[in-house]
């Protein structure tokens, strides 16, 4: 993975980071190869608030239904990825077949793909939450308030 992706992966749960690296390696070995970039990893609650406002109280289109504290990005248990084209530019055309391949590889590694969400389909999104529910709940937010991201990770049941 490139240095941009590695920097972002360094801020998420190590098990999630490892699975994203595996996904990238599998896709890179395809014929033709696909290069992935991690576009988002850990996201602060303030950054989440800005994204949530987009298309609501701020200009732009709606890009998330998750308020601050309601996205696994806020707890280092989710990343967003994008395939890079031959010029190393992001290819956001989710109707391109490569996106189905990305989802297939990710779910095959045990990741939950945002492409399979019912209320807000989010192709770039992959999460690994362990024992935690599909969406952060009150227990997650309380755990975070008491013991930070370490508490979330330690109680996830994921290997560190």
What would the pLDDT profile of 82-126 be if each residue is shown by its tens digit? 999 989 999 999 999 999 999 999 999 999 999 999 988 999 999
pLDDT of residue 99: 97
Structure confidence at residue 148 (pLDDT): 97
- Sorted by sequence, the CB contacts under 8 Å of residue 4 that are 6+ apart come out as 37, 38
Enumerate residues 6+ apart whose C-beta is below 8 A from 97.
Answer: none
Which pTM was predicted?
0.95
CATH number of 3-129: 3.30.1380.10
pLDDT digits (tens, 9 = 90+) for 47-86: 999 999 999 999 999 999 999 999 999 999 999 999 999 8
Number of CB atoms found within 10 A of residue 68's CB:
17
State how far the Cα of 66 lies from the Cα of 111, in Å rounded to an integer.
19
- Interval 137-141 mean pLDDT: 97
Q: What pLDDT does 159 receive?
A: 83
Q: Once rounded to an integer, what is the mean pLDDT over residues 27-48? A: 97
Every domain of the chain and the residues it spans: 3-129
Asked whether the predicted pLDDT for residue 160 surpasses 90, the reply is no
Take residue 134 and report the two structure tokens written for it: 């599909």
pLDDT band at residue 41 under the 50/70/90 scheme: very high
């Amino acid at each position: 993975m490139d240095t941009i992706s590695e920097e972002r992966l360094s801020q998420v749960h190590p098990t999630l980071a490892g699975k994203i690296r595996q996904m990238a390696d599998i896709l890179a070995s395809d014929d033709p190869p696909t290069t992935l970039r991690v576009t988002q990893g850990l996201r602060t609650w303030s950054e989440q608030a800005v994204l949530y406002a987009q298309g609501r109280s701020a200009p732009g289109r709606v890009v998330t239904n998750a308020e601050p504290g309601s996205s696994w990005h806020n707890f280092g248990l989710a990343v967003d990825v994008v395939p890079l084209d031959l010029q190393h530019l992001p290819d956001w055309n989710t109707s391109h077949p490569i996106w189905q391949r990305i989802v297939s590889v990710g779910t095959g590694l045990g990741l939950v793909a945002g492409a399979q969400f019912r209320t807000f389909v989010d192709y770039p999104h992959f999460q690994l939450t362990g024992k935690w529910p599909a969406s952060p709940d009150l227990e997650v937010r309380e755990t975070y308030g008491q013991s930070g991201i370490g508490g979330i990770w330690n109680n996830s049941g994921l290997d560190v």
